[in-house]
Chains A and B, each alone.
Chain A
Amino acid sequence: MNFDPRYSARSFNSVGTRPIRPDGVDKVTGRARYGADFNMAGQLVGRILRSPHAHARIRKIDTSKAQMLAGVKAVITAADLPDLTDGDAAMYDILDNCMARKKALYDGHAVAAVAAVDARTARQALKLIEVDYEVLPHVTDVDEAMKHSAPVLNDSIFTEGVEPRPAKPSNISKRSQFGHGDTEEGFRHADKIVERSFRTEQTHQGYIEPHACVASVSSDGTADLWVCTQGHFVYRQHCAQLLGMEASKLRVTSSEIGGGFGGKTHVWAEPVALALSRKAGRPVKLVMTRDEVFRASGPTSATSIDVRIGARKDGTITAAEATLRYSCGPFAGTWAEVGAMTAFACYRLENVKTIGHEVLVNRPKTAAYRAPSAPMAAFAVESVIDELAKEIGMDPVDFRIRNAAQEGTRSSYGPVYGPIGIGPTLEAVKNHPHMKAPLSRNQGRGMACGFWFNFGGQTCTDLNIGADGSVSLAVGTIDVGGSRASLSLIAAEELGIAYEQVKAVVADTSSLGYNDMTDGSRGTFSTSMATISAARNAIKTLRERAAQMWDISADDVAWEKGHAVAKGGKHGNLGKLSLKEIAAASGTTGGPIAGHSELVADGAGVSFATHICDIEVDPETGATRVLRYTVVQDAGKAVHPTYVEGQYQGGAAQGIGWALNEEYIYGKDGRLQNPGFLDYRIPVCSDLPMIDTQILEIPNPNHPYGVRGVGETSIVPPLAAIANALSNAAGVRMTHIPMSPPRVLAAIEAKQAG
C-alpha cells in the first residue's frame, strides 16, 4: 500500500507521554544482556596483538611459538583474512584497519590474533608472536602531516578534488569546497572583519561498554555473531564481505548496547573473531580492553580551522569563509567535508565559502562521534560570530537572530531549507530567564548555536498482533537510549490502543529485512515512520476482518480509537469491534494479523539548537567550572519527552567534556599516552550542574507526526558556548580545545602580562 509520510496536524493520546521503557526492569536488575554478557558452549577467548609503533613496515610475523603453546586453538594474521574487497577502496581500508596487512599505521593497529582456552593462555600466546617491524618516520599532528616534509603514509593517495591531479602523493586525501556568492566582494562591504585560527584535539566517544562479540562459524558455512553494535545489518554486510560469506548465512544478533555515539557503527574486532572461529572450529568471544578501545577504536578528528567573517555595522554578515583541516587517521575519509558543510549552516549568507582538507595521520581510523565533524566547526565559527558581535557592538543573540537561516534560505552547503528551528531556538534563548540571571566575579555567560543534518535511510518493521490482542513490534534499528519505548508509543498511537499492549523488540538480521544502522539521529525518526506505515497496513487487515465478521464491505468499516466501526446509517446496529475482539477471531477469519513495512525514510528534517552556559573560572589555576546550562532544541515532535531531554542533556555533557578536559595525548614516539579513563577524563557527576532543557516542536513536514531526529545536535554548541562564556568571564579568547586549566591559565597570564 502506498504510504503517505506527509505531516498532518492532530492531537495525540500516547505520543508525548512518558511511560517506563519496556527494557527498563531488566536494566535495573542486571538481567539485560550486553556484548560481553553472552556465552556459548565450548567458547574460546580471543585476543588481539597490537602494534606498539605509530608507523612501521611489517617484514615478517612468526606465529609458530604461539601456535605450539598448549591451549592455543588458532592464531591468525592478515594472511587469514585475504583481500576479497574487489577494488572497493573503502572496504579495503576497513579490512586493513581490522588487521594490518603491510604496515602498522598507528599505535594499537591490530597485527595478529589468537584464540585460546582461557584469557591467561591467550595473553601468553600474544607474547610468543614475533613481529619483525621496520620502524618508519611517523606524523600524528594534522598541520604537520600536511607539510611537504611529512612522511607520506600511503603513496597511492593523490589529493582528490584538485585540478590538475597532483603529481606526487601526499597525506591530503581530498579537498572539498562548498558555498555560494563572492566572498571577496562580500568582505569589501564589511565594516568589521574577524579572522582567527583554531585547533581542537582528538576525543573519544567514551562509551562505557568496550566492543564485545561472540562469533561462531560452523563447518557448514553458516555463522552466528552476537555483538554490541549500532547496526547489525551493516555489520553483517561488512563481515560477510570480508570473510567471503553470503550475507544470509551470517545471522547477527545485536546485544543490548552500552553506548555507541557513532563509535559502534564500524567493524573492528568482529571480522577477526569470525576468522578465529572459522580457523579454530569453535565459538570465540572477543572483548576489547579499555586500553584497546582508546588505542584502536573510535576517535574523532583532531582539527585545525581558520575562520573569517565580515559584517556591516547594522549587524548584517556580508561574507564568511572557513578552511578546515581534519585528521582521518591513516585512511581516506570525508570528515573535513562534513565539517565544511555544517560550519555556516545556521546562517543566511549571501557570500560563503568553506574548504575542507582530509588529512592522513598515524592515529586510529577516525570514526563517527555524535554529529560527526560539526562540533569543531561550530566551535570555530560560533567563537568568531561572538567576537564579531562584540566588535560591532551588538548583543550576540540579536546578531545571530538577524543573520539566522529561515525557511527558504539557501544553506551554505547547498539545499534550500524547509521550516526550521534556528530562529525559534534563538528567540527562546533571548527570552529565557537564564539569560537574565545575575553573575558574580570570575563568572561569565556564553551562548552558541548548532546544526545537524539528520538522516533517514532504509528501514523495515514488522508489527504482529497476537490472538490475545497484544502487539509485538519487531524493529531493525538498534535501541541506543529508549527508542523501544518511543516506538511502542507510536504503534499504540496509530492503532489507538494502550502503550502497555505493545512490546517492541530489536529483531536479528535473519528475522527482518535490511535496516540501516542507528546513526544520523535516524532511529526514532525512520523507524517511527515505518511503524506508522506497518500499523496502517495492519489496520487495513483489521478492517477487512471486522467486515468479514459483520458480513459487510470493508469499505464500510472505519478504524477509530482502537476499534472497527461500521460507517453509515445502514449499519447503525453493528456497534464496535475492538482490536482485541478482532484478533481473538483471527484464527477463523484468515489467520494471524500483521502489518509490515519497508521504506526509505526520506525527508529527515534538519535540526538546530541554541545553548546557554554559565561558567566560573579560577584565575589562580585556570580551572573552569560549569555553573548552569540550558539546552533549547527543536524536536519536531517529542515522542517520549523524557528521552528527548535525555538526548539533549547527554550531548551537552559530552560537549562539556570535549570543551574542558578530553584529549588524546601523543608522545614524540607516536604512542598514545592516556589510553584509560583515569588520564582521559570524561565528566563525572560532581563536575556538572543540572542541565535544563526546553523542547521546541516545529513539525517536520516529511513525517506523519512531525518527528525530527534529536540525538546529535546537542553536542554541537557546547564547545563554543563555553569558550564564549570564558571570554566573558576572564577576557580571554580561547582558540584551542580542550580549554584545560594549563591552557586557560596561560591565556590569563598572557593577558595580564599585556
Chain B
Amino acid sequence: MAGVAVSTTINGDNVEYLCQPDETLLDVLRDRLGLTGAKEGCGTGDCGACSVILDDRLVCSCLVLGAEAEGRNVETIEGMAHGDKLHPLQQKFLEHAALQCGICTPGFLMAAKDLLAKNPDPTEEEIRFGLAGNLCRCTGYDKIVRAVQDAVSEMKAA
C-alpha cells in the first residue's frame, strides 16, 4: 500500500513522515517517530492513555489517522515541559504522588492541560468530569484531583 506523505507540527517542530492510510496517529507517534509517551491502553478511545492535543482540541490519538495531522499542530507529553522546567501540572503530579504505575499519567496530564486551557479555575466536579475520559486503575483519582487543584492555585498565583 502506498504511503501518505504528511507534513505537520509536533511540539513546535516541523515533522514530515510517510504513513499508511489506515495508520493511526498513535501508531505514527509511537512506531515511526519514537514518541512513546502516548500509550495504547485500548485502541478504541475508551481509556484516554493516548491523549494528545490536536489544534487546541484534546483527542484520543488512537481515533485519529496519521494522515489527518497534515498541516495541523500536535502537542504530546514530550512537549509539555519547557526544557528542564516541568509544567506546574507535572510538578504537582509528582508532589502529590498522583501516579502509581504511571501508564495513564501522560494522558491525564494532556487532558488536565486541555481542561485548564479552557477553564482556568475549575471546581472539583468540573475537574472530575473534565478528566472522566481518562482511566486510572491505581489511584482512585483522589491524588490526581488534588494535584490538579494545587496546580490551579499555583497557576492562578503566577
- Interface residues, chain A, with chain B CB atoms under 8 Å away: 18, 20-21, 23-25, 27-34, 36-37, 120, 205-210, 256-261, 287, 289-290, 480-482, 642-643, 645-646, 649-650, 652-654, 676-678, 682-688, 690-691
Contacts and interface: CB of A to CB of B under 8 A. Distances in A.
B38 A207 contact: no
Contact of B78 (A29, A643, A645): A29
A210 B46 CA distance: 14
Q: Across chains A and B, which 8 residue pairs bring their CB atoms closest together, nearest first?
A: A30-B37, A258-B103, A653-B140, A481-B100, A27-B102, A677-B46, A30-B77, A649-B140
Given A29-B77, A30-B35, A677 B138 contact: no
A316 B90 CA distance: 53
B104 A208 contact: yes
Interface in B85-120: 86, 90, 93-97, 99-106, 109
B138 A646 contact: yes
Interface of B (DSSP majority class): loop
B132 interface: yes
* Interface SS of A by simple majority: loop
B106 A24 contact: no
A670 B76 CA distance: 41
Contacts of B146: 690
Given A29-B80, A258-B101, A290-B43, A650 B137 contact: yes
Contacts of B76: 30
A34 B100 contact: no
Contacts of A18: 97
Contact of A685 (B36, B39, B134): B134
Given A208-B49, A677-B135, A688-B142, 10 more contacts: A25-B94, A28-B93, A28-B105, A34-B103, A36-B30, A258-B104, A646-B139, A677-B44, A685-B144, A691-B140
Contacts of A256: 101-103
Contacts of A652: 140
**Most chain A beta-carbon contacts within 10 A, residue among B38, B104, B128:** B128
Interface residues of B, number: 57
B101 A642 contact: no
B41 A481 contact: no
B63 to A, nearest CB: 13
Contact of B39 (A21, A24, A208, A677): A208
B152 to A, nearest CB: 15
B10 to A, nearest CB: 13
Given A208-B103, A649-B142, A20 B44 contact: no
21 contacts: A21-B97, A28-B90, A29-B37, A30-B36, A30-B78, A30-B80, A32-B102, A258-B39, A258-B103, A259-B137, A289-B43, A290-B41, A290-B43, A482-B100, A649-B143, A677-B47, A684-B134, A685-B132, A685-B141, A686-B132, A691-B142
Q: Which of B22, B127, B137 has the most CB of A within 10 A?
A: B137
Nearest to A119: B27
Given A649-B143, A690-B145, A685 B128 contact: yes
B141 A209 contact: no
A686 B37 contact: no
Contact of B94 (A24, A37, A207, A481): A24
